[in-house]
Amino acid sequence: MAESVLAQVRIVLVEPAGPLNIGSVARIMKNMGLQQLVLVKPSCDPLSELARQMAVHGADVLETASVVETLPQALVGCQRAIATTARPRAGGETLELPEAVLPWLLPNDPPADFQAALIFGPEDRGLSNAELNHAQRFLRIPSSDTYPALNLAQAVAVCCYLLRRAALGEVEVAPASPALVSAPLEEAASLDQIEGFYQQLEGLLLQVGYLFPHTATSRMEKFRRLLHRAAPTQQELAMLRGILSQVDWALASNQRQQ
């Protein structure tokens, strides 16, 4: 039962640099019953001999791992995503404890196509603000101020262990904000659908002069926070995109008449 629940969770590694870490992550996932490993633009061979040696009996996790070029590609089809970070966000979002936030990736009675993601950053820098923008909630593993940085595989191990405990019902599900749980999961827009809206919105706002290239990133972060809190359904998102398309058409029509 735990394995079927955990099968819906992707472990996403952004730009992993070392085959030893990738192999170790595969082994940890195998230990804890997780199956989906997604590698975003790895800078090493995930099927190298070193990676296989560290994976041991988790080699099948390596062999079935997906390799993509961008983080949005890694999140296609996901309704929920948590990003790991050690740095406070400029927008003031709460950095939550692993045991408090991870059960949110394992909802009760999810639809068959439900997918969730847990995102980890590169070994040398962690996730950038731009990468963090793709998640709805943020996780921080508390550690000593003397040496707070965890090895990538160690951080994955902590989280996978707690995910398994949550799947077994040994960790109580922490409540999200009311907005994040208001819509049934069957109706929730996926993160890639929401990302498409952001791209359409940014293009239109640049066109009308509300955004400027040098301020677009910071302004769009505010829109992202707002929409993540709203947790729109697919129908609601289609309505918003329809509005943008109509405005875009009206602008083009007006320009043709001039």
Q: Is residue 140 within 8 Å of residue 82, measured between CB atoms?
A: no
pLDDT mean across residues, the chain: 90
Q: Give pLDDT, residue 89.
A: 63
pLDDT, position 173: 58
CATH topology for 182-257 is Helicase, Ruva Protein; domain 3 (1.10.8)
The pLDDT of residue 1: 65
The pLDDT value recorded for residue 43 is 94
Domain boundaries, the chain: 2-176, 182-257
Residue-level pLDDT at 8: 96
Residue 220 near residue 134, CB atoms below 8 Å? no
CB 8 within 8 A of CB 116: yes
Write down the pLDDT at residue 185: 79
Q: In Å, what is the CA distance from 114 to each residue of 8, 80, 105, 146, 246?
A: 7, 9, 10, 40, 31
Distance CA(226)–CA(212), nearest Å, equals 20
Query: Quick check: 182 pLDDT over 60?
Result: no
Specify the long-range contacts of residues 107-110, CB closer than 8 Å, at least 24 apart: 107/80, 107/173, 107/185, 108/173, 110/8, 110/185
Q: Give the per-residue pLDDT at 253.
A: 84
Average pLDDT value for residue range 43-72? 96
**65-101 burial, b if ≥16 CB within 10 A, otherwise e?**
beebeebbebbbebbbbbbbbbeebeeebebbebbbb
* Length of the chain counted residue by residue: 258
Q: Which pLDDT value is given to residue 206?
A: 94
Under 8 Å between Cβ of 233 and 187: yes
CA 103 to chain centre: 15
> Which pTM value belongs to this model?
0.85
Question: How confident is the model at residue 92, as a pLDDT?
Answer: 64
> 3, 33 in Cβ contact below 8 A?
yes
Given a cut of 70, whether residue 180 has pLDDT beyond it is no
Tokens of 98: 């692993």
CATH architecture of the domain 2-176 equals: 3-Layer(aba) Sandwich (3.40)
Helix, strand or coil, per DSSP, at residue 1: coil
The answer, yes or no, to whether residue 200 has pLDDT greater than 60, is yes
* Average pLDDT, integer, range 120-140: 93
pLDDT in tens, 220-240: 998 998 888 888 889 999 999
Q: What percent of the chain has pLDDT over 70?
A: 93
